Amino acid sequence: MQVLEEGIAEYLPVDPDGFREWVRDHKSRALEPKLMSEQDAVSKFVEDGDYLVYDCNYLQRGPSSLLREVMRQRKKNLWVGGKFTWVAVHLLVGAGCADKVDCGFFLFGKSIDRYAREGMVQIFEYSNVVMTARLQAGAMGIPFMPIRSFGGTDGVRYSGAKVIEDPYTGQPLVIVPALNPDVALIHAHQADAYGNARIFGTGVAHQECALASKKVIVSAEEIIDTEEIRRDPGRTSIPYYAVDAVVEAPFGAYPGECAGYYASDPAHVIEVAGAALADMVDQYLEKYVYSVANHQEFLEQKVGVAKLLEIKKRVATKEGYQP
């Protein structure tokens, strides 16, 4: 296959057979309970130097409580898949957890500008759909994904993309490397103890993240009985054998909305976005992340019952968000 052009950036090495062997040796196919605390899940499955993806983001039905735990545990040298994100990248880099980012989209502002300028983070250039295409290849066990977008951009140069001559049509074709992250954090509406998870509504790439990643932590608003999963199997978004840990995390997407369950908290969203814009991430982390021991303390001390009831009451609709 003729390579016409290729990017010069570092990318996570592609190894589909290695990933298969990891799956063979580490993913349990037994139906066994995987419920654990967020502390245990993050300390067991997120390791320094891991490539980490999260689905959706800190402000939109993402695993916000798990991300806070990663920062609390002061993980180091993470490489983050920053597809469709607003502030999660700023928080992870600002907390000293991450030093490489594959960029799809993030909020720009003083903090990320400074992190990049001071060399706290290396950024590689992709886009949202290019990142989800990479995850799709990873989730299919294939080494790369051909895409019809992205061609001609400078992103091709500063990423792991290549342009090849398509062996079927003879035309130029952009391919991007499969992504098999070390660990994925995914927030679901419901999951059973084995990890069968239900996500209602739209999403970014939760299924691709779950199947492409070596280690998968699912947090869920509700832990439900497996009998309920069996009653409506078409609702299962992620099957148990892709999942390594299940964490019960009511309001786990806070300050973001969890569609059908609760609305976002605009005051907190503005506060965290403001911190990212104004280069005050340290202050945010001190106030909301390091000063509490876990998600429950965060909800009790930093959010409070009145606010939780208010965002629940403000839920836009339940239509489409329950079986």
User: What contacts 270, CB < 8 A, 6 or more positions away?
Assistant: none
Can you tell me which of 207, 240, 275, 281 binds another protein, judged by CB under 8 A?
A: 207
Task: State the Cα–Cα distance between residues 259 and 318, nearest whole angstrom.
Answer: 8
158 binds another protein (CB under 8 A): yes
Question: Can you list the alpha helix ranges (DSSP code H) found in the chain?
Answer: 16-26, 38-45, 64-72, 88-94, 110-117, 128-140, 206-212, 226-231, 266-277, 281-285, 295-297, 305-313
- Cα angle value 81/21/205 (rounded, 5°): 30
Q: What are residue 174's DSSP bridge partners?
A: 147, 163
Residues 39-68 as x/- pattern, contact with another protein by CB under 8 A:
-----------------x--xxx-------
Q: Which is nearer to another protein, 132 or 196 (CB)?
A: 132
99 binds another protein (CB under 8 A): no
151 binds another protein (CB under 8 A): yes
- Which span (24-32, 73-81, 200-208, 297-305) binds another protein, by CB under 8 A? 200-208
Q: Which is nearer to another protein, 57 or 65 (CB)?
A: 57
Can you tell me which of 12, 95, 133, 217 binds another protein, judged by CB under 8 A?
A: 133
270 binds another protein (CB under 8 A): yes
Q: Which is nearer to another protein, 36 or 203 (CB)?
A: 203
257 binds another protein (CB under 8 A): yes
275 binds another protein (CB under 8 A): no
Task: State the Cα–Cα distance between residues 106 and 216, nearest whole angstrom.
Answer: 23
Can you tell me which of 10, 21, 113, 286 binds another protein, judged by CB under 8 A?
A: 113
Distance between first and last Cα of the chain: 48
Q: Which is nearer to another protein, 26 or 314 (CB)?
A: 314
User: What contacts 135, CB < 8 A, 6 or more positions away?
Assistant: 53, 81, 179, 181, 205, 208, 209, 212
205 binds another protein (CB under 8 A): yes
State in angstroms the smallest separation of the CB of 72 from another protein: 25
Q: Which is nearer to another protein, 250 or 255 (CB)?
A: 255
Q: What are residue 223's DSSP bridge partners?
A: 191
Rounded to 5, what percent of the chain is helix, strand, coil? Answer: 35, 20, 45
201 binds another protein (CB under 8 A): yes
236 binds another protein (CB under 8 A): no
User: What contacts 97, CB < 8 A, 6 or more positions away?
Assistant: 70, 71, 74, 75, 76, 78
147 binds another protein (CB under 8 A): yes
Long-range contacts of 104-111 (CB under 8 A, 24+ apart): 104/128, 104/130, 104/131, 106/82, 107/273, 107/276, 107/277, 109/276, 109/277, 109/278, 109/279, 110/277, 110/278, 110/279, 111/275, 111/276, 111/277, 111/278, 111/279, 111/280, 111/281
Residues 174-193 interacting with another protein (rule: CB under 8 A) = 174
Can you tell me which of 18, 33, 49, 152 binds another protein, judged by CB under 8 A?
A: 152
State in angstroms the smallest separation of the CB of 124 from another protein: 10
274 binds another protein (CB under 8 A): no
Total interface residues for another protein by CB under 8 A: 66
Tell me which residues touch another protein (CB under 8 A).
Answer: 56, 59-61, 82-84, 86, 103-108, 112-113, 116-117, 123, 125-130, 132-133, 136, 147-155, 158, 163, 171-174, 201-208, 257, 259-260, 263-264, 266, 269-270, 273, 315-317, 319-321
